[in-house]
Chain A
Amino acid sequence: MISRRRVLVGGIGVVGAVGLAGWGVGRVGLKAEIVALLKRRLDFLKLDEKGVQTFATDKVDAIFNKKIPTWNRLRYHFGAQLPSYSRYYRTDGLSRTARFEEGVVQLYLLSSSFFINGADESKLVEYVGYFDPTHPCQNPFAKPVILPT
């Protein structure tokens, strides 16, 4: 006869295994989604395949490595907001999915050589490094101050 302890331990093991598998499948699936999304939305550019894969891995890591929000942050997300917030919040009607997609494409372009090469569509777009605005000199559009002559 199987003891209650064995059932319990076995149950925890199964739940853990399913959780780990789900976590792994989620990561792999999300990475594949990101790669497909970039290829679809940027089909007019020559993308460096290895770089796209690396970017997708980095993006998935960034999503999964997010810190668990503090209690205050959770309160914010669950509606402890100022009365004024909804009053002034408007978007152009994009769904959450569409906004996520736009964000990923934007992040990839900023992380790549595309703007460094002057948005030249004829050049191969290579992944340079995961975009981090807290590093200096990351604004590809800024022009220098012109001193009076």
Chain B
Amino acid sequence: MSDHYDVILVGTGFASSFFLLRYLEHAPASCRILVLERGNEDTKAWQLKNQLHTSINPDSIVENDTPAKEWFTSPGFGGNSKCWMGGTTRMMPGDFKLKSRYGVGMDWPMSYDDLEGHYGTVEEVMLVSGPAVTPMPRSRPLPLVPHRFSDPDVLLHQHFPEGWFPMSTARASVYTGKRGICCASGCCGLCPIDAKFTIQNGLADLYKDPRVTLKLRSEVQTVETSGGIATAVNSLREHREVRETADLIVLGASALFNPHILLRSGFKHPLIGRRLHEQMPVYVTLDLKGVKGYTGSTVLSGLGYLFYEGEHRADHAACMMETWSSPFAYRAEDALRIERGRWNERMILGFLFDDLPSERNYVAVSTSDPSRARVHFEDYSDYAKKAADRIPQMIDKLSEALPIERIVGTSLGSTAAHIQGTVVMGDDPETSVVDRYLIHHEYRNLLVLGASAYPSASPAYPTLTLSALSLWAADHIIGSRNA
């Protein structure tokens, strides 16, 4: 059989899998799709046995200049779906229009309405749990009933009915037939009961389709171009160099490795790898009087939108708040209150601020070992820090609803576990690498999927949006082909 395919897809995480989901719905029986995955199969049984979500040490493929700022990555079948926590918030309409509404950052080249239907599809595939009423408009309800609020969430919702909501999450609230109910332990990185949606438990069948050939242990090194199109993918497979050609090449290797592959391939756009960003996460531990924390039915039980949308975004970042209902895995040092009878009169709140992307934070190719991505992060923007400086005022506002006794501690998280920017999308080839359909401006048969395309951050968790973008991109490719 020849080494030419209709499509070569790089990566098996959310971005690639949702693209494949939609693409296969319309692809003819004769279609040949090659999927290249750098890692191993890393089944759930393997993960639990080894207490790891990947058999490849992430440090062996990422060189981090600033280790205080962590970037999580999980090579292997299913990609970062293996280790994600299952947060599935949609972005707010204003997130797409940051420049035109508030004069800061960049606008996205599409609107919330453009993605609304795709958001709904992804929520149905992931069987997302959440409330009937959400702060953003929606055309269809979430598939699963919401998780139970913690006791502090109940008070916040009663006082701020328009500002406090149950979590939208792909951690199941009811048995789905495949996935158990979230046990709120906070061991989401491995999720021993498979309560959260993963590619392995939700979309693995795509890769068994007869049109699809999955090659594990295939480290993509370069994408070849010739005559204005992308022609081939070169990879290292089982220590052997392999060259495969295709009519359509789709990178879905994460915001660390999409730019890494493009840079290794000699792509020259000055923004490739630049504008690496994620939310700035600050965690605050509060002591409460007579109110018991950690009583929700899932690890993160509440979402606060009190300081999200509004004119303040012209001056400082938006904030999405999250209630930690299981602190033990991540915030173990001050989880409990060591006071007789008041053990859990405590709550931990996460404050996620959108950061303005900066070119001084970037991904490059390691000079000592080109197979590794080098990550350099100097700091968050003043825009985000200015908002974080307002946390004391935000807590004052929350104290209208909560009997807050004192602030126990505040800390900046080492990561929000999101990776965004680095192959930015837009309408102008001067200021973006890919267009609104995630197609490379110059090489029109090359797509670069995932959160690498994000022109600006949002306080929202990125996975739902990047998955919706993959459906949007696939629809465009299918529509163009049919036309």
A-side interface residues toward B, CB under 8 Å?
A: 41, 44, 70, 72-73, 75-76, 80-85, 87-92, 99, 102-103, 105-107, 109-110, 115, 119, 121, 131, 133-139, 141-148
B286 to A: closest C-beta gap in Å: 11
Chain B hits for A107, CB < 8 A: 332
Q: For B190, list chain A residues within 8 Å (CB).
A: 134
Cβ–Cβ < 8 Å partners of A110 in chain B: 328, 336
Q: Judging by beta carbons under 8 Å apart, are B406 and A143 in contact?
A: no
**Structural contact, B340 and A44, CB atoms closer than 8 A:** yes
Q: How far is the CA of A72 from the CA of B407 in the complex (A)?
A: 31
Of A72, A92, A133, the residue contacting B64 (CB under 8 A) is A72
Residues of A within 8 A of B174 (CB): 145, 147
Which of A72, A88, A134, A136 is most buried by chain B, counting CB atoms within 10 A of its CB?
A88
| In the assembled complex, B145 has its CB within 8 A of some CB on chain A | yes
Alpha-carbon gap, A69 to B8, bound state (A) = 39
B293 at the interface (CB under 8 A from A): yes
A139 to B174, CA, bound (A): 18
Contact between chains at A84 and B294 (CB < 8 Å): no
In the bound assembly, the distance between CA atoms of A146 and B343 in angstroms comes to: 24
Interface positions, chain B 131-179, Cβ under 8 Å from A, are 145-148, 173-174
Contact across chains for B186 and A106 when beta carbons are under 8 A apart = no
B341 in contact (CB, < 8 A): yes
- CB-based contact B59/A145 at 8 Å: no
Contact of B148 among A82, A84, A143 (CB under 8 A): A143
Once the chains bind, are A141 and B294 in contact (CB under 8 Å)? yes
Q: Among the listed A44, A85, A121, A138, which residue makes an inter-chain contact with B68, where contact means beta carbons less than 8 Å apart?
A: A85
B332: A residues at CB distance < 8 A: 103, 106-107, 133
Q: Would you give the shortest CB distance from B323 to chain A, in whole angstroms?
A: 13
Q: Which residues of B contact A (CB under 8 A)?
A: 51, 59, 64, 66-69, 145-148, 173-174, 181, 183-187, 189-190, 192-193, 280, 282, 292-297, 325-326, 328-329, 332-336, 338, 340-341, 343-344, 377-380, 385, 388, 406-412
Cα A107 to Cα B297 with chains together (Å): 22
In the bound complex, do residue A90 and residue B183 qualify as a contact, i.e. CB atoms below 8 Å apart?
no
Q: Give complex CA distance A135, B329 in Å.
A: 10
* Residue among B67, B181, B293, B341 making CB contact with A119, cutoff 8 Å: B341
Contacts A73-B67, A145-B297 hold; do A139 and B183 have CB atoms under 8 A apart? yes
Give the docked Cα–Cα distance between A90 and B325 (Å).
22
Q: Which residue of B lies closest to A147 (CB)?
A: B145
Residues of B within 8 A of A80 (CB): 66-68
Question: Which residues on A sit within 8 Å (CB–CB) of B69?
Answer: 82
Q: Classify the interface of chain B: helix, strand, loop or mixed.
A: loop
Give me 26 A-to-B residue pairs in the complex whose CB atoms sit less than 8 angstroms apart, sorted by A's number: A44-B340, A72-B64, A73-B67, A76-B67, A80-B68, A82-B68, A82-B379, A84-B379, A88-B411, A90-B410, A103-B333, A106-B332, A109-B343, A133-B187, A133-B326, A133-B329, A134-B51, A134-B187, A134-B192, A139-B294, A142-B296, A142-B297, A143-B295, A145-B181, A146-B148, A148-B145
Q: When the two chains form their complex, are residues A141 and B295 in contact, meaning their CB atoms are under 8 A apart?
A: yes
Q: Is A92 in contact with B408, judged by CB distance below 8 angstroms?
A: yes
Which B residues are CB-close (under 8 A) to A73? 67
Cβ-neighbour of B192 out of A89, A102, A136, A144 (below 8 A):
A136
Instruction: Decide: A144 near B297, CB < 8 A? Known: A88-B412, A105-B338, A138-B328.
Output: yes
Do residues B385 and A87 form an inter-chain contact, with CB atoms below 8 A? yes
Q: Which of A84, A92, A131, A136 is B412 in contact with, Cβ under 8 Å?
A: A84
Residues of B within 8 A of A139 (CB): 183-186, 294, 325-326, 328
Q: Which of B146, B295, B334, B388 contacts A142 (CB 8 A)?
A: B295
Q: Which 6 A-B pairs have the closest CB atoms?
A: A142-B184, A72-B67, A133-B328, A88-B412, A141-B294, A133-B329
Query: Which of chain A's residues has its CB closest to B333's CB?
Result: A103
Question: Which of A72, A109, A138 makes the CB contact (< 8 A) with B59?
Answer: A72
Contact A89-B411, Cβ < 8 Å, known A75-B67, A82-B379, A84-B385: yes
- Contact partner, B294, options A109, A142, A147, Cβ 8 Å: A142
List B contacts of A105 (CB < 8 A).
Answer: 338
Contact among A89, A92, A109 with B336 in the assembled complex (CB-CB below 8 Å): A109
Q: Which of A44, A135, A142 has the most CB of B within 10 A?
A: A142
The listed residue (B181, B192, B344) touching A135 by CB distance below 8 A is B192
- List the B residue with the shortest CB-CB distance to A144: B297
Is the Cβ of B67 less than 8 Å from the Cβ of A138? no
Please give the distance in Å from A118's CB to the nearest CB on chain B. Answer: 11
B326 contacts which chain A residues (CB < 8 A)?
Answer: 133, 139, 142
In the assembled complex, the CB of A147 is this many whole angstroms from the nearest CB of chain B, namely 6
Residues of chain B contacted by A133 (CB below 8 angstroms): 185-187, 326, 328-329, 332
Alpha-carbon distance A41/B339, docked complex (angstroms) = 9
- B337 CB, nearest partner CB in chain A, Å: 9
Identify the closest chain B residue to A73 (Cβ).
B67
When the two chains form their complex, are residues B409 and A92 in contact, meaning their CB atoms are under 8 A apart?
yes
Q: Which residues of A contact B412 (CB under 8 A)?
A: 82, 84-85, 87-89
Q: Which chain B residue shows the least CB distance to A86? A: B412
Contacts of A137 in B (CB 8 A): 183, 185
Contacts of A146 in B (CB 8 A): 148
Return chain B residues, CB-CB under 8 Å to A76. Answer: 67-68
CA distance A146 to B295 in the complex (A): 13
Q: In the complex, which residue of chain B has the Cβ closest to the Cβ of A100?
A: B333
- In the complex, what distance in Å separates the CA atom of A131 from the CA atom of B186? 13
Within the assembled complex, what's the spacing in Å between the Cα atoms of A44 and B335?
A: 21
Considering only CB atoms, which chain B residue lies closest to A99 in the complex? Answer: B333
**Cβ B409 vs Cβ A142 within 8 A:** no
Of chain B, the residue at the smallest CB distance from A81 is: B68
Q: Which of A41, A106, A143 contacts B335 (CB 8 A)?
A: A106
Extra inter-chain contacts (19) besides given A82-B378, A84-B380, A133-B186, CB under 8 Å: A41-B338, A82-B69, A84-B412, A87-B385, A88-B388, A92-B407, A92-B409, A99-B333, A106-B338, A107-B332, A135-B187, A138-B328, A141-B344, A144-B148, A145-B146, A145-B148, A146-B148, A147-B174, A148-B145
